[in-house]
Structure 1
Amino acid sequence: MLHKFIQGARASFIAASAMAFFQAAHAGDFPKDVPGSTDPALIKRFAGSTLIGYKAEPWEAARLPTSAVINKDIQGKPFRDVVTVEGKRTRAVYLSPAGKSPLEVYRNHEQALSAAGFKKKFSCEVACSDQYFALTPLEFDKGLLWSRGSVPAVGSSATYNPDAAITFEDGRMWVGSLTQGGVEKWVLLYVSKAVNSNTNYSAAFIEVVEPKAMQTGQVTVLKASDIQSGLQKEGKVAFYGLYFDTGKAEIKPNSKQQLEEMGKLLKSQPSLQVYVVGHTDGQGQLDANLQLSQQRAQAVVDALVKDQRIEARRLMAKGVANLAPLDTNATEDGRARNRRVELVVR
């Protein structure tokens, strides 16, 4: 999508992006539905549309805007008001039938959402380019699987990649939620011209997040003996039994057992000094992840000092964000493995 390119002056940004995605005289087949894709559970596609971009995640964190207000004083001009929702996350990009305008596609989705009981948080229908570009820090299209084929231009042999479909041109945004069974489910809708004015298509991005409890009991607490063995063999040990809410640095109560085992090991080796290193996954901005990982590492240090009575001089907190991944950040499992706290021998 256009926002993947470095934002400089708006005019040069748009021109460079259009050139990058333009493919003259290389027409391919018209895109088909992404293999294995299905419409999100809470909203169906505009009639006759093709599902050209897709990703469904059983349990993931999503950041959604709750107002159209843009914070223009911050680099990247992100949304001012954002909520983080965890649960089943489904994202879909659709290409409408030829001749259907963005307004027609948008109004049909708007009516369908209202009929389903969704309550609007906010919408933008005029001059929404700032809201389009503010989706970039939310990484709304990260990791999507795209259809093969090409989007044709009108009156020429030019074609465009499906992943260029969502644009700022004639864009409209709608965000709302639906409460079912005490759970607030969220939808973000963005509709625009597909690629640019040279096509006769519209494109729609839909994100649905259905909060649910995460499956627990999947992480075994490392015993003091396991920690000692890891430090002796590799000089470091990774912990996945220390829990934090998304984007937060406060240790959750269910981390107590792991902290106690860490305390046992440190008490059994009074001369041992360690770094407590915080790691995040690759989502979000680097500066924010550096700050968060440092805060989480410090929170572990503070807990070991206060609750386990470990001398503060033996512990040093360091946050390295997503600079030392153990796995890919392109999958949910990989990101889960990368989110960790480590003890490293000093």
Structure 2
Amino acid sequence: MVWKWIAGIALACSMLPAGVGFAGDIEGSSDHPVLGRFPTATIRAYEVREFDAAILPAGRIDDGEAPGELLEVEGKVTRIGYRIAGKHSALEVMRNYEHALSQAGFETLFACGNHEDCGIDMMAFISNSGRIRPPGFGDAFFGETAERALLASRSDADGNVHIFLHVIEDTANKRTVLYQQVVEAAVLETDQVKVLQADELERSLKRQGHVAVPGVYFDTGKAEVEPESEAALAEMAKLLEAYPELRVYVVGHTDNVGSLDSNVALSQARAAAVAGALSGSYGIDGARLIAKGVASLVPVTSNADETGRSRNRRVELVAQ
């Protein structure tokens, strides 16, 4: 994907080049390649997701529980929280970004220039709708905050790019805070998970005494089985119906994020939820199912990165 880099714009304070890490940034972070940073800015919150949904304000927000106009887009999502040291107003920062985006061919979809125009719940909505908490939001006072927001987009050969910016003056700490979301068009790889058929589950159980069942989904930190798990549950039920003498442990596994005690409880609750779904929705005799949670004690690979952690979060059937 080819981007127009934004650098060297002749304003009072020009944007610094994109795609570069700076001293003071949190480890592993960098600017997004499409958009540079304001001088004196450091990255204090950072997240990149190869495919995710982002809910971007496209109008004022007066009620975070029932927000008004929103734009929900999917793709590669980069979320960055900057702290800008020095006496730089929200207006100065946003004008620089507006100019840079205009020069790069972005069209403004929504903009607000003060706390009243943005809506009384704009900050609360942003803080609660993303997966990272923008730095400084907890320190800023509504009555003393200068606030500006901007939603812009550009269409490229590879698809749409959306950028949302929110700037506040954190007067309590004498700094300016910028929250940036960039959503790039991305193709979702839908063939990464295969639901094992009942006969494949049976062969693995017979050969090795246990089998991991892909396609069982839970929300982060939760134990409710997601509706997308139906296909995997159905194959487990077919297996148990085809072999009425078979008794299994339903074993829940987690990664090592969080305390061992909390992960033991979570994995136990998830295993129980799967066993409950098999007996409650598919009529499998509950006496044939024993739920056990083992947390992160039996990993299949390292928990050092998200790829490994995602493999370790799983549900297994183990022959009794």
Which bin holds the TM-score, normalised by the shorter protein? 0.5 to 0.7
| Alignment partners' CA distance in 1, 2:113 and 2:295 | 40
Partner residue in 2 for 1:44:
36
Matches of 1:297 and 1:80, distance apart in 2 = 37
- Let me know the Cα RMSD of the aligned residues: 5.2
CA distance in 2, matches of 1:338, 1:85: 29
- 1:262 corresponds to which letter in structure 2? M
Matching residue within 130, 147, 151 for 1:171: 147
Output one character per residue of 1:222-265: Cα deviation in whole Å (capped at 9) or x when no partner.
Answer: 422366359965xxx65333689x9x96649xx96x57753552
Q: Is the 8 A contact 1:166 1:205 kept in 2?
A: no
Distance, in Å, in 2 between the alignment partners of 1:109 and 1:251 is: 40
**Cα contact 1:166–1:192 (8 A) shared by 2:** no
Among candidates 151, 160, 170, match of residue 184 of structure 1: 160
CA distance in 2, matches of 1:171, 1:330: 39
CA–CA separation in structure 1 for the residues paired with 2:96 and 2:252:
46
Provide the rounded CA distance (Å) in 2 between the counterparts of 1:111 and 1:166: 29
The match for 1:94 among 67, 82, 106 is: 82
Instruction: Report the Cα distance in structure 2 between the residues aligned to 1:188 and 1:87, rounded to whole angstroms.
Output: 14
Which has the larger displacement, 52-61 or 335-344? 335-344
How much has 1:132 moved relative to structure 2? 0.5
Aligned length: 264
* CA distance in structure 2 between the partners assigned to 1:242 and 1:297 by the alignment: 9
User: Are residue 267 (structure 1) and residue 267 (structure 2) matched?
Assistant: no
Check the 8 A contact 1:89/1:208 in 2, yes or no: yes
SS in 1 for 2:128: helix
Please, which of 91, 106, 109 is the counterpart of residue 118 of structure 1? 106
- Secondary structure, aligned partner of 1:123: strand
Match of 1:225 in 2: 202
Note if contact 1:238-1:343 (Cα within 8 Å) is conserved in structure 2. Answer: yes
**TM-score, normalisation: structure 1:** 0.55
Measured against aligned partners, the alpha-carbon deviations of 1:90-132 in whole angstroms (never above 9, x if no partner) come to 2223333523211110122123223323333433322245111
Alignment correspondent of 1:53:
44
Q: How far apart are residue 61 of structure 1 and its match? A: 1.8
Distance between the aligned counterparts of 2:204 and 2:164, measured in 1?
Answer: 44
Change (3 A) 1:241 1:122: same
Cα separation, 2, equivalents of 1:64 and 1:96: 25
CA spacing shift, 1:43–1:343, aligned 2, 3 Å: same
Does the CA-based 8 Å contact 2:90-2:147 persist in structure 1?
yes
1:179 & 1:243 partners in 2: Cα distance? 34
Unaligned runs of 5+ in 1: 1-30, 145-162, 283-292, 306-310, 316-322
- The CA deviation at 1:66 is 3.7
The residue aligned with 1:239 is 213
Query: Contact (CA 8 Å) 1:91, 1:208: kept in 2 or not?
Result: yes
1:213 lines up with 2:190 in the alignment: no
- The DSSP-based 3-state class of the residue aligned with 1:240 is coil
State whether residues 132 and 167 of structure 1, in contact with CA within 8 Å, keep that contact through their aligned partners in structure 2.
no
Tell me, yes or no, if structure 1 residue 33 matches structure 2 residue 25.
Answer: yes
5+ residue gaps, structure 2, are 1-22, 258-269, 287-292
Asked whether the equivalents of residues 153 and 162 of structure 2 are also in contact (C-alpha less than 8 Å), the reply is: yes
Residue of structure 1 equivalent to 2:121: 130
Contact residue 49 and residue 94 of structure 1 kept, 8 A: no
Cα distance in structure 1, aligned partners of 2:62 and 2:313: 29
AA paired with 2:178?
A
| SS of structure 1 residue aligned to 2:105 | coil
Q: Secondary structure at the match of 1:99?
A: coil
Say which SS state the counterpart of residue 121 (structure 2) adopts. Answer: helix
8 Å CA contact 1:279, 1:338 repeated in 2:
yes
In the alignment, the residues of structure 2 paired with residue 278 and residue 122 of structure 1 have an alpha-carbon distance, to the nearest angstrom, of 45
Amino acid at match of 1:114: S
Using the TM superposition, give the Cα deviation of residue 190 of structure 1 relative to its aligned residue in structure 2, in angstroms: 0.9
Separation in structure 2 between the aligned mates of residue 113 and residue 183 of structure 1, nearest angstrom: 17
With a CA cutoff of 8 Å and minimum separation of 6, indicate the structure with the bigger relative contact order.
Answer: 1
Q: Report what 2:10 is aligned to.
A: none
Aligned equivalent of 1:196: 171
